[in-house]
Amino acid sequence: MSGAPESARPMSAHGKQQPLLRYPAPAAGNGSGSGMGRRRYLAFLAIAAALVASYHLLHAPTPSSRYHALFLTLGSNASAAAHLRALTLRPHVAGTQANALAAEYVRATLSSLSFPTRVTPYSVLLSYPVHRSLSLSAGPGRPNNVFPLVQETYPGDPYAEAAAEVVPTYFAYSGSGSVTAEVVYANYGDRKDYAYLASRGVDVAGKVVLARYGDIHCEDMVRNARDAGAAAAIIYTDAKDFGGPAAKGKQKWFPNTRWLPPSGVQVGTLYYGNGDPTTPMWPSCAAGEDCERLSMEELDASEAMPGIPALPVSGRDGETIQKAMGGGVAPPEWQGGEGAPVYRIGPGPAVLNLTYIGNDTLATIENVFAVIEGKEEPDRYVIIGNHRDAWTFGAVDPNSGTAAMLEIAERLSQLEKKGWRPRRTIIVCSWDAEEFALIGSTEWAEDNIDIIGSRAVAYLNVDISVFGPGGLVPRATPQLDELIQEASRMVPDPDDPSHTLYDYMIRQNPPIARVAGAGTDFAAFVQHIGVPSLDMSYGLFSEYPVYHSLYDDFVWMQRFGDPLFHRHVALASVWGLIALRLADDEIIPFNYVSYASELEESSKVVEDGCPGCAVSFSPLHKSIKQLEKAAMKIHMEKKVLQADKWGLNTRERTLKVREMNDRLMMAERAFTNREGLAGRPWYKHMIYASSDQDDWGTKAFPGIVSAMANAQKLNTSESWRLLQHEIYRGARAVSKASAVLDGRLT
């Protein structure tokens, strides 16, 4: 950021060859049924099961299924570990030389497997710190406290020298300026927290807000502070949430435990949008090429920019500020953990003097691709992706995912050597600048929107492959649910090989979440274009307290995240198997019956949130019934075709398969609307998008939910009319998807 790191020698992941570590035979799993139209659905399943049984009696296992079984035996813990070590030798934030070296490592690894590779550069607006300072005046007769704003290394830290290259703690795209003002404590910085402050008579206008990480993303926290009138914001990592349980007689944080040290700081981005800020809604271009861009003046006036200075600080610094505060005592749920001082809401008497000067500048980023061309349908794409750039070393976020993706590529290369070729094209993507605003994936998706829209079967994302212990945690669009369950039954749980990944997943509620909140690189594919999408990880975010800090390094992963690297291999196995099924199955393994069930349940939740409202939800319910019928119809057609009951000749069968696959693939596109969500035109999916108050939050029917909240707040005839309009818009999207699945013209 304030300067690119020095050059380093090219990295190599491969040392002495070690034997492959293979899994035992997988254990059996248990199924579960749908909640909608249960009798009809069970009757349908009985018919389908009979058809499938007759099919298996007449047909031997396909060659592709044998390759898929072989794929599961080829996992290498040693390879995953070697890739992760190589990728995390240095901090590699986007736009720096170290990240260019990481891009070259990924490209060279994929190229060495004989996959055609390419690098696509874009010139985009990135943001780095130039000057930061923060001091505290605690009142008359008390000395000022100048905060060092440094994350500390520890004795024996093998990455201490490389840590000097870490960009100083900051928020990308923060407003520049100096502010001296009293402090107000705002808990987690949610809108309801500001409403509480107002109820206590605390005026935030012109003050410095102190808030702690927890409920929402930093960009929402700073935006809420700005909207409340604050002059600046400080966000800290409270020991209650990131410091771990109290421990006596020993240091309770990393490197001795997984918990964040007192000097640890969680950095992030404050841009409230996706992609290059200078090219919203259209693609950027490479350096030296001519493309339309917003000016810095236009950007500064944009609501997407935070508009006020903000800094992330450590838990130790946050607690120091808390000790100097006065005013009323904060409520119990706003308090810290054991040993923390009593938290007060202010304002003052503590006064903070904050200065932040940033450099927002055009820099080159690089997306890296490998293409495994399909044999029968090369114009149909199964896309798997992970971002490569990291705020610091990135051992968990994101390079655990990069290591798993490269391990998948090595397995696919071994399959190729044994004669395998995918039916459809597989594209392996290493995205850049995700941490700034999902920039690499968004620019490429916008650059190729029409081709992706007509050819992409699915996008399969893994940002973080391993948080730590736990189990498989997927989120997806619902037509992928059945495939995820089938694949997860084939992979033993690395922490309990007597069970499968499915066994843990199915006990969760829900077993599979939805790709609605932004957060990572699936956003451009599902929320902007309408491509069926998946994201998954092993373990839970709560097991990863060093998120976006200096301590996200190989040592942390090796000691706490995945000491044997068997979780990496398990995640790669299920990720790769899903990709293989989508690439090789003659008929795309989508099931929209669960989609209809999901929408019926979601619509009831939305309607229950508006009891007695003067609007009608009947258009939405009617459209979901249409989707249910269309989903059941194509599901039955698929089973009949698989059982070869129509007696089609080769040409007829080929055309029928293609037609059916087009319906299955394109139905998700129909859930989009070209105008997008009200006030958020980039988000075009009418069913799944992030909340307009929480970029990480998940909302089904986001347009309806937002309009409902507005109508309940304003209670005007126009606001209720707009809510009804959004209900109709959602219903039309569902009806469009039904028509595509049904394959009919009106």
With H, G, I as helix, E, B as strand and everything else as coil, classify residue 379. Answer: strand
Please choose, from the candidates 401, 444, 356, the residue with its C-alpha nearest in 3D space to the C-alpha of residue 124.
Answer: 444
> Can you read off the two tokens belonging to residue 722?
């707009």
Report which DSSP code applies to 11. P
Alpha helix (H) residue ranges in 667-716: 702-714
With H, G, I as helix, E, B as strand and everything else as coil, classify residue 130. Answer: strand
Cα angle 176-268-360, degrees, rounded to a multiple of 5: 40
- Whole-angstrom CA distances from 172 to 118, 293, 308, 494 are 29, 19, 12, 37
User: Could you please report the per-residue DSSP string of 495-548?
Assistant: TEEEEEHHHHHTTSSSSSB-S-S-SSTTHIIIIII---EEEEEES-GGG-TTTT
Radius of gyration of the chain (CA): 26
Q: Assess whether the previous peptide bond of 26 is cis (omega < 30° from 0).
A: no
Q: Look up tokens 């390759």; give the residue.
A: 67
User: Could you please report the per-residue DSSP string of 428-485?
Assistant: EEEE--HHHHSHHHHHHHHHTHHHHHHHEEEEEE-S-SB-SSS-EEEEE-GGGHHHHH
Q: 636-645 long-range CB contacts below 8 Å, 24 or more apart? A: 636/44, 636/47, 636/48, 638/587, 639/47, 639/48, 639/51, 639/52, 640/51, 641/587, 642/51, 642/52, 642/55, 642/586, 642/587, 643/51, 643/52, 643/54, 643/55, 644/55, 644/58, 645/51
Q: Strand runs (DSSP E) across 111-265, as ranges?
A: 117-137, 145-146, 171-172, 177-185, 208-212, 232-236
DSSP H/E element including 204: none
Length of the chain: 746
Task: Say how far apart CA 628 and CA 126 lie, in whole Å.
Answer: 45
CB 729 within 8 A of CB 673: yes
Q: Look up tokens 């001519």; give the residue.
A: 290
What residues have CB less than 8 Å from 683, skipping those under 6 apart? 527, 528, 676, 677, 689, 690, 702
With H, G, I as helix, E, B as strand and everything else as coil, classify residue 559. Answer: helix
- Decide if 434 is catalytic: yes
Set 434, 435, 607, 726: catalytic member: 434
Please choose, from the candidates 592, 580, 583, the residue with its C-alpha nearest in 3D space to the C-alpha of residue 631.
Answer: 592
Give the residue numbers marked as catalytic. Answer: 434
